[in-house]
Homo-oligomer: A and B are copies of this chain.
Amino acid sequence: MDYIPLLALLSALAAIGLAAFYFSAVKKESPGDPRMVEIMVAIQDGAKAFLRQEYTYVAVFVVIMAVLVAVFVAPLGAATYVFGAVLSASAGYVGMTVATLANARTTEAAKQGPGKALPLAFKGGAVMGFTVAGFALAGLALVYILVVDVLEAEDAFEIITAYSLGASTIALFSRVGGGIYTKAADVGADLVGKVEAGIPEDDPRNPATIADNVGDNVGDVAGMGADLFESYAGSLVAPIALTAFTGAGITAAEAGNVGTINLIMFPLLIATIGMVASIIGSFTVKGGASTDAHALSKALHMSTNVAMAITVVGTVLAGLWIFGDTDLFENWWGIPVSVLGGLVVGFGIGKVAEIWTSDQYAPVKKIAAQSETGPATTILGGISAGMMSVTASVLLIAVGVLIAYWGGEQAAEGLGVYGIAVAAVGMLATTGVVVSVDAYGPIADNAGGIAEMAGLDPSVREVTDALDSLGNTTAAVAKGFAVGSAALTALALFKTFEEALTKADPTFVLSLNVGEVDVFVGLFLGAMLPFLFASLTIDAVGRAANAMIEEVRRQFREIPGLREGLPGVKPDSARCVAISTKASLREMIIPGALAVVVPLVIGFIDVDTLGGFLAGALVTGFCLAIFMANAGGAWDNAKKYIEAGAHGGKGSEPHKAAVVGDTVGDPFKDTSGPSMNILIKVMTIVSLVFASAFV
């Protein structure tokens, strides 16, 4: 079964091929009239400029980290670290490029109805989805083959883990930087445009409108893609590294041993199955003449459902094959149970997110009703709802952990944590198609913005709005998988960290006993860090938004005729884009660096404290991530629910209160919340990679 990495590589290359095919399919469509092209190009230029500058900043950081990895771990590790970082950045760049090509084309297609526009937007998203999944898996398979099979390198598994750390580094900065950008632009555009100047959203007179649309691409497309790249790569590395380090760690040569090889190959096999399943699933998205929301939603759901069903069947068969040898394993079905347990829990967490953030259920309706008594009760309602969703999600994770652990122990004694690790792989196996659907959303959103800015017929906007709203529920499920897998992966990596210390120094025993004072202090510090991180990122959005607000005000003041919309008078959109870019990149540095520096500092002082720190950060970070994401989502949809006519509709007092909730929720759900998962994993992976240097 040692040809599985090759299979994985081939499936990944197929995915990349599919992405290329979709890319050309998107590109050959018409981008519409000159005005639309002009807008599209402005968004493209802004997004690319942001990414290029972001990558320049991050490159400095990557180089510093690479040196540290080379010195403290292994020179080859520095190479795989940079490789992971470059692949993730490239996937983000490709995905964002196509998203900014697909937006105007979707607008143009929307003129002919949703049956034409839906598949096009999906194809745009699919380029992102399959590039992310394809690059991540291809890179990992290549690294594995090279480091383990070809070079038989010493410290092979630290080197493989460094690949994942590279991806995590990019993800953290992309999420934080992109999250700050998108919210600063959004808040800036809304506050001055809608509130002060009294012009509608996406109005071409507003200098921040282009920046706002750029933000959707750098935040929701590039940031989200890097996030999923990191999650996917991390989930695959976790069970492999765990297996390698369990006991006292194995070398590359020993990796082929009976039993060990089964455990290492299984996650790669599941990834291969999931990739093939995703490719098949993506072909099921077809348009049709229907404008019925239910039918369109079904088309989109079909792709993930098909992919998931194939993966489930494949997992059972893979279990039968890999764990069927009764000399090595007690029950072949144990690990498949872990994987399926993970899938069910991932669905469950997604469902929790949906229940607490969709206007079809009680929580959002309640927040909307609380808007009747003003913004304060709206805020309290959202906070309470978000906190309550933490309870449901943690109970699900607890059940998931216990099932996955139990399954692992059924396969063979001592494989419990391995079961937890592969449960995360199951959740993310269909990343290709899941990200496709996820990236579809912002493309449809952008298409609507272009329709507005180009002054197209309102019917076009109606079509794009219908498409946009479809993405929401699918995105909730994807979010559930991302968050749930983050908790499981981090737990597995945490255990791997413990094993890695033992490997580095067989006499060293990590005390993770929270009854010990140094572990306890670590636990306390770890619990505090997500609060610090949230505080920093919320403030960062505020400052960046202020920079934007001032610029927009200045333009309205200094450019004659802009506010009145005199013909020929145009805002200086490029300047807004530049300001938002600069502000968000400056603000990204401290929170981003914190995630890497703090565990290193603690680790070099006291490793037991670091163990407690990671545990504390993991559980509190997860709770805060769920709280912030769901509270933010609930406020957003409570506002939309009111806008749809409830409680007096648009312009009423409850609506104003709901807008306050939505604005508070913006950095919650799009900056701080989604960065939290990456934060947890970056800190754990940094600790794992540098474990040997600590002892």
> Which residues in A have some Cβ–Cβ distance to B below 8 Å?
191, 370, 373-377, 379-381, 383-385, 387-388, 390-391, 394-395, 397-398, 401-402, 405, 416-417, 420, 487, 491, 494-495, 498, 510-515, 517, 519-521, 523-528, 531-532, 534-535, 538-539, 541-542, 549, 611-612, 615-616, 619-620, 622-623, 627, 659-660, 663-664, 667
Contacts and interface: CB of A to CB of B under 8 A. Distances in A.
Contacts of A394: 524-525, 527-528
Nearest to A376: B663
A180 to B, nearest CB: 13
A491 B512 contact: no
A620 B526 CA distance: 10
A390 B660 contact: no
A464 B667 CA distance: 42
Contacts of A514: 512, 514, 519, 523, 611-612, 615
A447 to B, nearest CB: 28
Contact of A377 (B387, B510, B542): B542
Nearest to A526: B619
Nearest to A659: B376
B660 A517 contact: no
Given A380-B664, A514-B611, A515-B495, A623 B531 contact: yes
Nearest to A661: B376
A630 to B, nearest CB: 11
Contact of A535 (B388, B397, B420, B549): B388
B619 A391 contact: no
Closest 9 A-B residue pairs measured CB to CB? A376-B663, A387-B535, A394-B528, A527-B619, A514-B615, A390-B531, A387-B531, A384-B538, A388-B535
Contact of A517 (B402, B487, B513): B402
Contacts of A535: 383-385, 387-388, 390-391
Given A388-B532, A401-B521, A514-B514, 8 more contacts: A376-B660, A379-B660, A383-B664, A394-B524, A401-B524, A527-B623, A528-B623, A616-B619
Contacts of A521: 398, 401-402
Contacts of A370: 542
Contacts of A659: 376
Contact of A498 (B405, B515, B526): B515
Nearest to A667: B380
A627 B525 contact: no
Nearest to A541: B380
Nearest to A546: B373
A376 B664 CA distance: 5
A379 B512 contact: no
Given A390-B528, A391-B531, A515-B495, A523 B384 contact: no
26 contacts: A377-B663, A380-B538, A380-B542, A380-B664, A380-B667, A381-B542, A383-B664, A384-B542, A388-B531, A388-B535, A391-B531, A397-B524, A398-B521, A401-B517, A401-B521, A402-B521, A416-B517, A494-B515, A512-B513, A514-B514, A514-B519, A514-B523, A515-B611, A527-B619, A527-B620, A527-B623
Which of A370, A387, A495, A538 has most B Cβ within 10 Å?
Answer: A387
A691 to B, nearest CB: 14
A391 B664 contact: no
A551 to B, nearest CB: 15
Nearest to A515: B512
A310 B211 CA distance: 63
A420 B517 contact: yes
B539 A520 contact: no
Contacts of A515: 494-495, 498, 510, 512, 611
Contacts of A532: 387-388, 390-391
A246 to B, nearest CB: 12
Contacts of A513: 511-513
A498 B520 CA distance: 14
Contact of A660 (B374, B420, B520): B374
Nearest to A663: B376
A620 B622 CA distance: 12
A619 B664 CA distance: 26
A398 B524 CA distance: 7
